[in-house]
Amino acid sequence: MALHSTRFLFLPRCLLLACVALAASGSACTQEIKIGLVAALTGNSALSGEAITRGLSIAIDEVNARGGVLGGRKLVLVRRDDESNPSKGQLAARELIEKENVAIVFGGIDTPVSAALVNVMQELKRPYMGVWAAGTGITHNGKTPNYMFRVSAVDERVDLAMMKYAQKVHATKKPGAILVNNPWGESNQKGLEKASAELALPLAGVEKYGANDVDITPQLVRLKNAGADSLILVGNAAPAAQVMKSLERMGWSVPVVSHWGISGGRFNELAGPRYKDVRFMQTYSFFGKQNPVGMKVMAELKKRYPEIKGPEDILAPVGVANSYDAMMLTALALDAAGSTDGEKLREAFYKVPEYAGLIKTYKKPFKTGDNDALQDADYVWVQFDGKNAMPVAQ
């Protein structure tokens, strides 16, 4: 009996050692694959981090329910709070890669944070997947090879779309730009100047405001005096709300077309009565007729979060939608790579097959030289009605 007992005790140890050896060689085994998230989980943009978490979690559970990836390995989400701070974002990404050994790092709403990760991901040779921050330079960064991918808006494409929208809907002839004074604002200034030249639509001026400014009246007065007949607004929810409050104090009823940063917080609560006047872009809306994936995700949101009764209860929907599709594309890339090796996974994103997603059907979503899966034709336009971002005329 002692001999038989020894045999049965020895067998699991052999299997364990074999599993460790397979893992060390990059082969599939039963251990989990960690998916990292560096995003704002506290502070004014915490809503964005929660929305991204929800989209990722639904996608991960769906992938795991159908058998996982790489022959049965399950995915698990590991989060870190960047507090909208680039330095903290860099530390968080390093910790996720070097200590948690995540296969990929997903990023959050803040362009300055995501831009600060470009060199980190390059150094550590691990792919990044952006699902909100739209700074053009995040993916168009001049790196070879380029580890930065994105399923989200791109500033340069959004800037052209905002100018076209102001021209079409508001008949603008001389838009003025009011931009947050940080790398995201700089990214959009370049995009707006390029769009202005392309459309032969002169800008009345470009003004900047600080993220903590409470009075933007002087900048707005300069744009008004320069003849601006519409405003292009770029900023996250809290600072952009101060722009609208300043407009209200001035009594200037000028049309406002905004980037989507205002949807990542409590803009409708913070901006005063003028919040309804802003039309802004999104990559997805849960309002209106949904495709099969949209109906499935909506049903899952209702199941998991009792407060969600319909699309009006989904806060920061682009965070949910972008992260869901990005996670599904990542799962396909992992299988295409046959490994969690960072370089193999990076190359595999260019081999992702056609995928019928939530936002659209992706056909070769990533191409060498273009690591952005969404185009300006994929954007939709909305405005707040209460807390709801309702689709408006295109």
Same domain, 278 and 162: yes
Tokens at 372, concatenated: 């952005």
Same domain, 181 and 109: no
CA geometry: angle at 247 spanning 243 and 253, to 5°? 130
Same domain, 206 and 162: yes
Q: Please report whether residue 25 resides in a domain.
A: no
Q: What is the pLDDT of residue 5?
A: 36
Domain residue limits at 195: 156-282
Q: Please report whether residue 211 resides in a domain.
A: yes
CA separation for the pair 2, 326 (Å, rounded): 54
Q: What is the pLDDT of residue 315?
A: 81
CA separation for the pair 148, 366 (Å, rounded): 11
Q: Please report whether residue 17 resides in a domain.
A: no
Q: Domain tally for the chain?
A: 2
Q: What is the pLDDT of residue 20?
A: 45
Instruction: Per-residue pLDDT tens, the chain, 394 aa: give them.
Output: 333 333 333 334 443 444 444 444 444 446 999 999 999 999 888 989 999 999 999 999 999 999 999 999 999 999 999 999 999 999 999 999 999 999 999 999 998 999 999 999 999 999 999 999 989 999 999 999 999 999 999 999 999 999 999 999 999 999 999 999 998 899 899 999 999 999 999 999 999 999 999 999 999 999 999 999 999 999 988 999 999 999 999 999 999 999 988 876 788 899 999 999 999 999 999 998 999 999 999 999 999 999 999 998 998 899 999 999 999 999 999 999 999 999 999 999 999 989 999 999 999 999 999 999 999 889 999 999 887 888 887 7
Q: Please report whether residue 8 resides in a domain.
A: no
Q: Name residues whose C-beta falls within 8 Å of residue 66's C-beta, 6 or more positions apart in sequence.
A: none
Q: Please report whether residue 92 resides in a domain.
A: yes
* Whole-number Cα distances in Å, 18 to 26, 245, 335: 12, 64, 22
Within the chain, strands assigned E span 33-39, 75-81, 104-107, 128-130, 148-150, 175-180, 205-209, 230-234, 256-258, 278-282, 355-356, 361-362, 380-385, 388-391
CATH of the domain at 221: 3.40.50.2300
Same domain, 277 and 295: no
Nearest CA among 105, 87, 50, 36 for reference residue 264: 50
Total Cβ atoms within 10 A of residue 245: 20
Same domain, 73 and 171: no
CA separation for the pair 73, 68 (Å, rounded): 5
Q: What is the pLDDT of residue 13?
A: 45
**HEC letters along 193-228:** HHHHHHHCCCCCEEEEECCCCCCCHHHHHHHHHCCC
Same domain, 93 and 149: yes
Same domain, 276 and 168: yes
Q: What is the pLDDT of residue 25?
A: 41
Q: Please report whether residue 390 resides in a domain.
A: no
